[in-house]
Structure 1
Amino acid sequence: MLRRRDFLASAAATAAATATLPALTRAGLAQSAGQSAAPAGGARIPPGFVWGASTSAYQIEGAVTADGRKPSIWDTFSHTPGRIADGTNGDVACNHYNLYAEDVELMGKMGFQAYRFSIAWPRVMPDGTGAVNAKGLDFYDRLVDRLLAANILPMACLYHWDLPQALQDRGGWHNRDIANWFADYARACVERLGDRVKPWAMLNEPSVHAIFGHGFGNHAPGLTGWDSYVRAQHHQNLAQGVGISTLRSMRSDLKLGTVFSLQPIFPSSQQPQDIAAAARFDACWNTINLDPLFLGRYPAAFESSFAPLVQAGDMQAIRVPVDFLGVNYYGPSWIKHDPAAFLAQAGYGAVPDGTPRTLLGWPISADGLVAVLARLRDQYGNPPVFITENGACYEDPAPANGVVQDPERTAYIRAHLDACARAIGQGCALNGYFVWSLLDNFEWAEGKRRRFGVTHVDFDTQARTPKSSLLYLSQLMRAHATGAGAVP
């Protein structure tokens, strides 16, 4: 298992610490899991578990024209009238580009051991290909050095939906050349940062990007239809594999993986057509990513849809070993047959009465996280996993006495950490948990009106205020560091 002592070193000791990164093994997990039986007081998380926070570039950085950065598809989309619920955009967001040191200091004070951030492709290669923008990479240099000085592991995600607009103008994820464009961009990032950053995730939630950005059209770049979805999905899978192989050829000390959004899918009724629709939706959301990566094939129901795009060698390029899998988990979905739905005639159906929900209406089920991890254990070889996103949106009150009280979010996090402990106890290869998100941010099509952060951000003044969920996490992380592994 990836253990904290293996890679959370001070800047001066980074090289020595990262030499022990290959300790990411299921054998290491099994040894720890054997010591993690739940006591009467609650489930236990074993030693070596990594505690982190996640963000993404467009949602927090701001500074969209600074130091040579050019527009991404989300700049274009968010500036298109009617696309964002509250009419806002990511031009400033959390101003993390200028306030990163303050945010790293906050993480250090709270006891976070790792930080998963994304790199903005339009900062590094403003035109998508060609010349590398040194000033753009300078920002990530400063961020990484600050993290290491605070004894926080940097985990970089190469793509979190902010494709350079220049590449979208050349077809974006519909153009199969993007696999090589992505590999060139990834190479540039690792050439600059790979001496200090060891865990690298290729893509964030490719199925979600394909479904909402290229199928429904309510995310950037705003494209619609089944064929559009299929092309975006296959070329993301291909870029993911080519990217991993490219980086693995560059350095042997990297830990390479990718990030999928996974969720249990249930039929909204026991009618045969709803059961079949749920199976189709499960394929489009979950196994459309898992099967190519781990099994080297597309789900049988959709092989004919992907066949025209799959060229010789594609599936071998996609099925490459990964050192870890990032799992983003929020909750389950109930699905019904919908003849009008572009996504395999499957649409969102009625949620069972009494199911708790977040402000966005998302159903809540911590047991669903256990089910997701058990599926990876049983069907996909139990790969080493990090929960790279987990969190909830609620209507938070204004700050008072230096804190924002968010008991609903705290309860959500607690329940899901308990689920993590239970899954580990059942032999699932879970190595860490990254809360979504460190900061309230620009929440995609919802704009700034919906908040997921464990830190409140006043978007007018950029003041950061901890929420009670952050203080809970801090208490838990510090207790765990001293050997008290129970989830209180």
Structure 2
Amino acid sequence: MARLDFPQDFVWGTATASYQIEGAVQEGGRGPSIWDTFSHTPGKVVGGDTGDVACDSYHRYEEDIALLKKLGVKAYRFSIAWPRIFPKGIGEVNQEGLDYYARVVDALLAAGIQPCVTLYHWDLPQALQDQGGWASRSTIDAFVKYAETVFQAFNGKIKQWITFNETWCVSFLSNTLGIHAPGFKDLQLGVTVAHHCLVAHGLTVKKFRELGIQGEIGTTHNLNWCEPHSTSPEDAEAARRSRAWNNEWFMDPTFKGTYPQFLVDWFRAKGAEVPIEPGDMETIAQKIDFIGINFYTGNYGRYKENEGLFDYEEVQVGFDRTDIGWNVYPEALYKTLKWVHEEYGDTPIYITENGACYDDELTADNRVHDVKRTEYYRKHFVQCHRLISSGVPLKGYFAWSLLDNFEWAEGYRKRFGIVYTDYETLARHPKDSYYFIRQVIADGGFDV
């Protein structure tokens, strides 16, 4: 039996997002977000579910931090809700919102846990959406002001900052595919929103440097691994296009200050242009201290004319699937992060999300025996160890998610947590995967 040990300074953590766990949407001076509007629109979320209550972490954060402490993590990634700080996106600061996050941060620090904060995890103030949302460059300015306010409020306490979570989801999933808020179906809109978010990221990094804020700043992109089903040039090009939509379209501007030309040409042929203004690309490519990667799955596919945006059809090759329908492909994590390192250099990498959705059941003894999720984590931890052993600067891993929560358009029917949430009582019950991760952290590794 082999032993896989992790470096002593490896950062183990877990992650959540504000709208998915907080609830209390009309408390503490919070204004409405696009997800309040979207989830209350009939037909947009499975079961008509909303984040009105969610896990009620707004009131139960101390209980959740106690679970984190018992887990033994060094860090906790959570997001600040923009409409709690600026209820209308701009204007007067809502001190109650800052005070709430100050209580969370202080409680984390008292528990010996470092806060890792995401500034934008999708809850755009509805007032800004009413004025054009991310399609308007004025939203860029509003975001930088919001970020500056939060930086100054928590300078010295929060030492790891993430500007955006999954810009692909903010742009294409939400504005081209229409699956997430605000729910539009327009390719040009998706391209525009993606660009404006990247510019906002760059300007926020510049502001962070100008203010002399302590700590590190980066961003998080969700990457996906697509491989061609065959050696045919058509399959290879189709897989390349599909993969680049998630990967190069966001990573190239972040690190190289350019968009991949073959995708620029592909989008142009479909009538969509990137609205680049002078200085934008230099702004986007501000040097960052780390890159966050959210990774869940990969696939094989082939060329099929008029299939989706990229003439690409996924082909099942025998993978197990999670209960949300995503392939379990642990080696793709290794391939993706090795590619990131080879393509973009030695910037430190954090896996800011990785996890699995399974339909858990609470047993009579208030336990959840989530064997498949536990094995998912075990297999992905093996790939993390391979990456470190291969010289990839992987510095930490954040499991998604601490709690079962509001899973966006899927509502509450899909569970990713390592802690079971009873949505009737809001009681928390650690699952077997929680105890597995706790043991790995305590032991500094595991046997395989």
Following superposition of structure 1 onto structure 2, how do residues 107-256 of structure 1 map, counting pairs within 5 Å? 107-256=68-217
Is the alpha carbon distance of 1:41 and 1:288 closer, same or farther for their aligned partners in structure 2, counting shifts above 3 Å?
same
Corresponding residue to 1:356 among 306, 313, 320:
320
- Kept after mapping to 1: 8 A contact 2:156/2:213: no
Using the alignment, how far apart are the partners of 1:48 and 1:42 within structure 2? 18
Structure 2 residue aligned with 1:105: 66
Using the alignment, how far apart are the partners of 1:74 and 1:340 within structure 2? 32
Structure 2 residue aligned with 1:273: 234
* TM-score for the superposition, normalised by structure 2: 0.96
Structure 2 residue aligned with 1:80: 41
Structure 2 residue aligned with 1:66: 27
2:369 maps to 1:405: yes
> 3-state DSSP class of the match of 2:183?
coil
Structure 1 residue aligned with 2:284: 318
> 3-state DSSP class of the match of 1:368?
helix
> Higher strand fraction: Structure 1 or Structure 2?
2
Deviation at 1:144, TM superposition (A): 0.1
- Kept after mapping to 1: 8 A contact 2:155/2:213: no
> 3-state DSSP class of the match of 1:177?
helix
Using the alignment, how far apart are the partners of 2:304 and 2:103 within structure 1? 49
> 3-state DSSP class of the match of 2:101?
helix
Using the alignment, how far apart are the partners of 2:163 and 2:380 within structure 1? 25
Using the alignment, how far apart are the partners of 1:450 and 1:308 within structure 2? 35
> 3-state DSSP class of the match of 2:4?
coil
- Kept after mapping to 2: 8 A contact 1:335/1:346: no
Q: What letter is aligned with 2:276?
A: V
Using the alignment, how far apart are the partners of 1:315 and 1:322 within structure 2? 14
Deviations 1:243-298 (A, max 9, x none): 11111211242200000111211234544433222111122110111100111100
Structure 2 residue aligned with 1:435: 399
Following superposition of structure 1 onto structure 2, how do residues 405-424 of structure 1 map, counting pairs within 5 Å? 405-424=369-388
Using the alignment, how far apart are the partners of 1:249 and 1:296 within structure 2? 21
Using the alignment, how far apart are the partners of 1:68 and 1:342 within structure 2? 42
Which ranges of structure 2 fall in alignment gaps of 5 or more residues? none
> 3-state DSSP class of the match of 1:86?
helix
Is the alpha carbon distance of 1:377 and 1:397 closer, same or farther for their aligned partners in structure 2, counting shifts above 3 Å?
same
Using the alignment, how far apart are the partners of 2:368 and 2:219 within structure 1? 33
Deviations 1:156-177 (A, max 9, x none): 0000111111111111111122
* TM-score for the superposition, normalised by structure 1: 0.88
> 3-state DSSP class of the match of 2:96?
helix
Using the alignment, how far apart are the partners of 1:357 and 1:308 within structure 2? 35
Which ranges of structure 1 fall in alignment gaps of 5 or more residues? 1-39
Deviations 1:117-161 (A, max 9, x none): 001011111101111111011110000000000000000000011
Corresponding residue to 2:353 among 360, 373, 389:
389
- Kept after mapping to 1: 8 A contact 2:156/2:215: no
> 3-state DSSP class of the match of 1:202?
strand
> 3-state DSSP class of the match of 2:224?
coil
- Kept after mapping to 2: 8 A contact 1:376/1:383: no
- Kept after mapping to 2: 8 A contact 1:60/1:96: yes
Using the alignment, how far apart are the partners of 1:96 and 1:471 within structure 2? 21
The count of residues paired between Structure 1 and Structure 2 equals: 443
Structure 1 residue aligned with 2:15: 54
- Kept after mapping to 2: 8 A contact 1:217/1:224: yes
> 3-state DSSP class of the match of 2:321?
coil
- Kept after mapping to 2: 8 A contact 1:63/1:97: yes
2:389 maps to 1:450: no
- Kept after mapping to 1: 8 A contact 2:191/2:273: no
Using the alignment, how far apart are the partners of 1:252 and 1:383 within structure 2? 20
2:300 maps to 1:334: yes
Using the alignment, how far apart are the partners of 2:85 and 2:437 within structure 1? 33
> 3-state DSSP class of the match of 2:412?
coil
> 3-state DSSP class of the match of 2:171?
helix
Deviations 1:305-354 (A, max 9, x none): 476511110000000111111111101033444554563x34452221x2
Corresponding residue to 1:459 among 414, 423, 426:
423
Q: What letter is aligned with 1:86?
A: G
Using the alignment, how far apart are the partners of 1:239 and 1:131 within structure 2? 21
The answer to which of 220-229 and 198-207 deviates more is 220-229
Q: What letter is aligned with 1:250?
A: L
User: Cα RMSD between the aligned structures?
Assistant: 1.5
- Kept after mapping to 2: 8 A contact 1:418/1:487: no
